[in-house]
């Protein structure tokens, strides 16, 4: 079970932008393949995504990252026991040698790190979630499905990035998928009847122009009712504000509406929304440097609402520890490519669990057909899996994989 060779190539992501796929081949003949997803509203503290510049693909090609895998990374890891994930990830981090993985690229590192885990799981004959989670893993998460897109993910006039369905009353993952898919179809007919656009945003949710955030929430409430769910009991709502995109000189500037708000006004606004609608989760309601603001909103709303750090933590164990010390947030979004290795993602999981934080395993807005994060969600018993709308194959690949895991397929 030693690494025989590692190779990478350039492929396309769901936005038609280049990304990197890595393949790890073992001496026993087993192979593992994994790819790097890519964000649009990325946090400032994420691992660096290495891109080439120049003219090909508008400067976004990843041939340098590919060359790093085929050359240096392959040479350094060949011969290692693939089951030593910690040793492999430590070698990748040391080889890169920068604090934010900028020399070889976080995109190269995460694809190789995950491909090693996939190869190892095949070599030992276990599904990936079992290999990573062991006997304690295997609980299926509750999905969080993004059905209305705004912010950096859509060309409409809505500033909040994601309006998500959370089927809190579902009896199983299959039931959760049905509830979300039915509500998504109901939302489509509600939009059609009102003459609103049913064009889709990057994560497969609808992206109509709307008068206000409240209008978006009212449309969701209508769709939830029409799908036969009870708002708040069967089906709840989650928002990803992605407010780091709004942070501007100590205040918030909503780029599409052109409004300005202070931190205090932001907290009051979201407090009002959570009183008026069955919102169970608020992701990045404030900017990525505002630990004090996160602590304040967690103090005010955290007993009844999940306050989720995405850009705030960037799946980074050091930033998560800082947040825990400051009582900022009570849940973490886990995006393996934000930190760049599987081992560091697992470290973030352990630290978050130790502090009683809820876990949300997440895709990126630019995705591939890979379903690895579905296995990761089940491996670490994540409370939630956020993987976009119940539509478009790069999103449904994740949900379909959990459906298989639930059935022991
Ligand atoms: P991104 O968005 O993948 O574009 O960063 C997803 C999110 O903010 O959760
Ligand atoms: Zn987010």
122-158 confidence digits (pLDDT tens): 999 999 999 999 999 999 999 999 999 999 999 999 9
Catalytic residue among 21, 46, 63, 203: 203
Cα 38 to averaged position of ligand 1 atoms, centre (Å): 8
Q: What is the DSSP letter of 164?
A: E
Catalytic residue among 101, 335, 386, 398: 335
Note the pLDDT of residue 369.
98
Q: How far apart are CA 225 and CA 136, in angstroms?
A: 37
Q: Which residue has the tokens 């992501």?
A: 13
Ligand number with the minimum distance to the CA of 282? 2
* Average pLDDT over the chain, rounded to an integer: 97
Q: Which two tokens stand for residue 251?
A: 């205040």
Instruction: Supply the Cα-derived Rg of the chain in whole angstroms.
Output: 21
Atom of ligand 1 nearest to the CA of 161: 8
Distance set, CA 197 to CA 18, 119, 137, 247, 282 (Å): 29, 44, 42, 29, 26
Note the pLDDT of residue 72.
98
Q: How far apart are CA 183 and CA 224, in angstroms?
A: 5
Q: In terms of residues, how long is the chain?
A: 409
- Mean pLDDT confidence for 94-100: 98
Q: Which two tokens stand for residue 35?
A: 């790819």
| Known catalytic membership, residue 122 | no
Kindly indicate the confidence band of residue 75, based on its pLDDT and cuts at 50, 70 and 90. very high
Which of 45-54, 110-119, 121-130, 245-254 bottoms out in mean pLDDT, i.e. has the lowest?
245-254
The verdict on the CB of residue 242 being under 6 Å from ligand 1 is: yes
Per-residue pLDDT tens digits for 159-185: 999 999 999 999 999 999 999 999 999
- Mean pLDDT confidence for 210-230: 97
Q: How many CB atoms lie within 10 A of CB 267?
A: 19
Q: How far apart are CA 358 and CA 74, in angstroms?
A: 36
Element at 295 (helix H, strand E): helix 291-301
Note the pLDDT of residue 124.
98
254 — phi, psi (to 5°)?
-80, 110
| Known catalytic membership, residue 268 | no
**Secondary structure class of 6 (helix, strand, coil):** strand
Q: How far apart are CA 170 and CA 186, in angstroms?
A: 18
């Amino acid at each position: 079970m030693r690494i025989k060779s590692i190779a990478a190539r350039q492929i396309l992501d769901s936005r038609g932008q280049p990304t990197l796929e890595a393949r790890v081949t073992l001496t026993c003949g087993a192979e593992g393949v994994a790819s790097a997803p890519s964000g649009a509203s990325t946090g400032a503290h994420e691992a660096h995504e290495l891109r080439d510049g120049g003219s090909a693909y508008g400067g976004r090609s990843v041939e340098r990252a590919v060359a790093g895998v085929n050359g240096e990374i392959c040479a350094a890891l060949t011969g290692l026991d693939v089951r030593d994930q910690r040793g492999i990830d430590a070698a990748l981090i040391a080889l890169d040698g920068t604090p934010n993985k900028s020399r070889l690229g976080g995109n190269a590192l995460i694809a190789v790190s995950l491909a090693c885990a996939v190869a190892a799981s095949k070599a030992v004959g276990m599904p990936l979630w079992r290999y990573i989670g062991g006997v304690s893993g295997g609980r299926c998460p509750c999905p969080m499905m993004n059905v209305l897109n705004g912010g950096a993910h859509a060309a409409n006039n809505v500033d909040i990035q994601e309006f998500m369905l959370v089927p809190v009353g579902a009896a199983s993952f299959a039931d959760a998928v049905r509830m979300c898919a039915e509500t998504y179809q109901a939302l489509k007919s509600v939009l059609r009847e009102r003459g609103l656009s049913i064009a889709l945003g990057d994560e497969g949710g609808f992206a109509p122009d709307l008068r206000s955030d409240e209008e978006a929430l009212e449309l969701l409430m209508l769709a939830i009712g029409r799908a036969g769910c009870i708002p708040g009991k069967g089906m709840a709502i989650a928002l990803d504000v992605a407010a780091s995109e709004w942070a501007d000189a100590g205040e918030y500037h909503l780029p599409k509406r052109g409004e300005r708000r202070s931190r205090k006004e932001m907290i009051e606004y979201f407090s009002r929304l959570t009183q008026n609608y069955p919102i169970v989760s608020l992701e990045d309601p404030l900017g990525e440097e505002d630990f004090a603001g996160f602590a304040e909103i967690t103090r005010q709303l955290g007993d009844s609402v999940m306050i989720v750090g995405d850009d705030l933590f960037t799946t980074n164990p050091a930033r998560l520890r800082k947040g825990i010390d400051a009582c900022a947030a009570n849940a973490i979004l886990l995006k393996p490519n934000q930190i760049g290795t599987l081992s560091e993602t697992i470290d973030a999981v352990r630290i978050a669990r130790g502090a009683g934080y809820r876990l949300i395993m997440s895709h990126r807005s630019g995705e591939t057909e890979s379903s690895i994060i579905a296995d990761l969600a089940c491996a670490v018993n994540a409370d939630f899996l956020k993987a976009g709308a119940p539509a478009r194959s790069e999103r449904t690949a994740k949900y379909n994989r959990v459906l298989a895991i639930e059935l022991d397929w």
